Structures are given as C-alpha cells and as structure tokens.
C-alpha cells in the first residue's frame, strides 16, 4: 500500500492515543487525524491496521496531534466537522457544531411535521447561524421550507455561504444582529436558534481547546448566560406569525428561566423542555397559537 518506514497504522494510533490522554485530550482524535491524513473511512482504516505509513504521512499525522495537544481544535485543523452525516466547513470564525445541536435539529424536524402538518410555504429563520449547520440541514431535510439564516459576523456568513453551496442548499443569508433586520419587514412560522449560552463565570472551567480558540461571541451569553435569549424573546412579537414554532438550544439548568422569560410575553404559550441524550436540559420548544 505505502512505502514503509517501519511505522504501522496500529502503532501510530496507539502512540497518538496515549500521547493525547497524557495531555488531557480525547484519544479518539487520533483516529480522526489519521483518517484525514490517509483519506480513509473508518472501516478501511480498521481493515488496514497492519499497513505501514510513509514518512510524509507519519510526519503529517504527528503534526496534527502536536497542534491539537497545544490547544487547536482538531476540527479547525482538519477544516470540517460532521453534522447530520455531512461534512461542514469550519474555521475559527464559527463555533464547531456539536452533537447536541443535531438533537435540536432532529427535534425541530419532528415538531414541524406534527405542529403544521406540512412544510409547504413555511418561513423559517435560524438566528446566529455560524457555519450554517442548522439552517442548511433543515433546508436539506425539508426542501419545502423557506429558510433564512442570520448572523452578525461577516466571517461566519462567508463560511455559511460556502457550506450552503457545498450542499446545494437554497437558503438566504442575512447579516444583522439577531432578529433586528426583520422587524417590521418579515414574519416567520419557525424560529430556531443556538445562541451563546455559557455564563461568563464558567469560562475558567472550559477546556483551553474551546475558550482559547472558538469565537467568544459564539460561546458566552453574559453573566448568567441568558442575555441573547432575553433579546431574541423581546423581538419575537415583531417577527412571528399568529401560529409559530420556536426552538432553542440551551445550557443545562437554564430551562425554567427561559420558560419564564417567554411566558412574560406569551402567557398562554405551550413550552416543552427536553433533555439531551446525556440527560441534561438542552432544548426548549415553544408553541404559539
């Protein structure tokens, strides 16, 4: 397969896994990095554990591992992260999509069908789209939706546009602060957002991989983590239709506070707080009618 220098794939993986664990990093990064270097899927990699790396492959693999141990997220080094089975381009201008956000999208897909019965002609806005993962996935999974994605960051919108073109997703991208660009101009059936929700007081407990490399504007939501929810909720009456579905990703333990914020403006709203696969509060869905 490759010109040998004596380093087998299984040896490279064992070295990297141990090195990563010694430095407090996730050992599964070793497999992601080596698959990237060798341009192999997981099955093929596992079937070739006793093949040897070339010298250039070994050096490239080591470089990725050392850079990640120094703090750079592996997704930024590889240039992508998988979300809903698709490889989304990411860079330091955007938050790296998380598995929890896949749960938010799946929950929205299920609830749109149940609440509206049809996707035809529904208008959807993804607030603070970042890489575009939420908006693009919703559009690809429900092509009948009219999807707009907004972000205040020009750099993020560049990446979102690249991802939309990459997957052929016909979405509209709008630069602006939360729902401000649409007040008095457009109303929506569906509003979804994964806003920054980490309290500033939690910064010290975050991994350096996160707090020193991912954009702070996409991580922190003020002293209690709720600043962006307050702003979005205050803007909702000006942009929603008479019947609307709202979906937020939230931080663990924030569900009741967000329920109360929403009910200040919508006393009769039906609110659903849903845990993620790890049993932590992660999604809030609201039904306005």
Q: Domain coordinates of the chain in residue numbers?
A: 9-70, 93-288
| Residue 6 annotated as lining a ligand binding site | no
Is 128 annotated for ligand binding? yes
Low-confidence ranges of the chain (pLDDT < 50): 1-4
Can you give the pLDDT at residue 286? Answer: 95
Pair 147, 135: CB distance under 8 Å? yes
Q: Is 85 assigned a ligand-binding role in the annotation?
A: no
132 is in an annotated binding site: yes
Q: Is 151 annotated as a binding residue?
A: yes
The CATH class of 93-288 is alpha beta
Of 148, 151, 132, give the one whose Cα is nearest residue 83: 132
- Match 């979300």 to its residue by tokens: 83
Q: Was 43 annotated as part of a binding site? A: no
pLDDT value of residue 78: 95
The response to whether 93 counts as a known ligand-binding position is: no
Q: CB–CB of 219/95 below 8 Å? A: yes
Q: Are the CB atoms for 200 and 177 separated by under 8 Å?
A: no
pLDDT digits (tens, 9 = 90+) for 27-71: 999 999 999 999 998 899 999 999 999 999 999 999 999 999 998
Is 251 within any annotated ligand binding site? no
129 assigned ligand-binding residue: yes
What would the pLDDT profile of 139-157 be if each residue is shown by its tens digit? 999 999 999 999 999 999 9
101: annotated binding-site residue? Answer: no
């Amino acid at each position: 397969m490759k010109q040998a220098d004596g380093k087998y794939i299984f040896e490279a993986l064992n070295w990297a896994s141990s090195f990563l664990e010694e430095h407090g990093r996730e050992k599964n990064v070793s497999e992601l990095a080596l698959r990237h270097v060798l341009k192999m899927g997981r099955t093929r990699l596992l079937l070739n554990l006793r093949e040897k790396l070339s010298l250039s492959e070994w050096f490239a693999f080591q470089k990725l591992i050392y850079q990640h141990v120094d703090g750079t997220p592996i997704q930024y080094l590889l240039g992508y992260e998988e979300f809903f089975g698709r490889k989304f381009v990411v860079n330091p201008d955007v938050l790296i999509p998380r598995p929890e956000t896949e749960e938010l999208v799946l929950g929205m897909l299920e609830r749109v069908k149940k609440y509206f019965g049809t996707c035809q002609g529904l208008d959807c806005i993804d607030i603070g789209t970042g890489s575009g993962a939420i908006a693009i996935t919703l559009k690809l999974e429900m092509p009948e939706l009219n999807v707009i994605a907004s972000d205040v960051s020009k750099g993020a919108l560049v990446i979102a546009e690249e991802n939309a073109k990459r997957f052929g997703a016909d979405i509209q991208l709008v630069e602006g602060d939360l729902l401000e660009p649409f007040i008095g101009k457009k109303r929506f059936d569906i509003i979804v957002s994964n806003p920054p929700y980490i309290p500033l007081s939690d910064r010290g407990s975050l991994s350096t991989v996160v707090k020193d490399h991912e954009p702070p504007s996409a991580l922190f939501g003020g002293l209690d983590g709720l600043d962006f929810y307050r702003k979005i909720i205050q803007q909702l009456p000006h942009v929603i239709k008479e019947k609307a579905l709202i979906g937020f990703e939230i931080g663990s333990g924030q569900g009741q506070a967000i329920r109360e914020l929403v009910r200040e403006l919508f006393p009769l709203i039906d609110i659903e707080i849903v845990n993620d696969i790890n049993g932590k509060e992660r999604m809030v869905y609201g039904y306005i009618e």
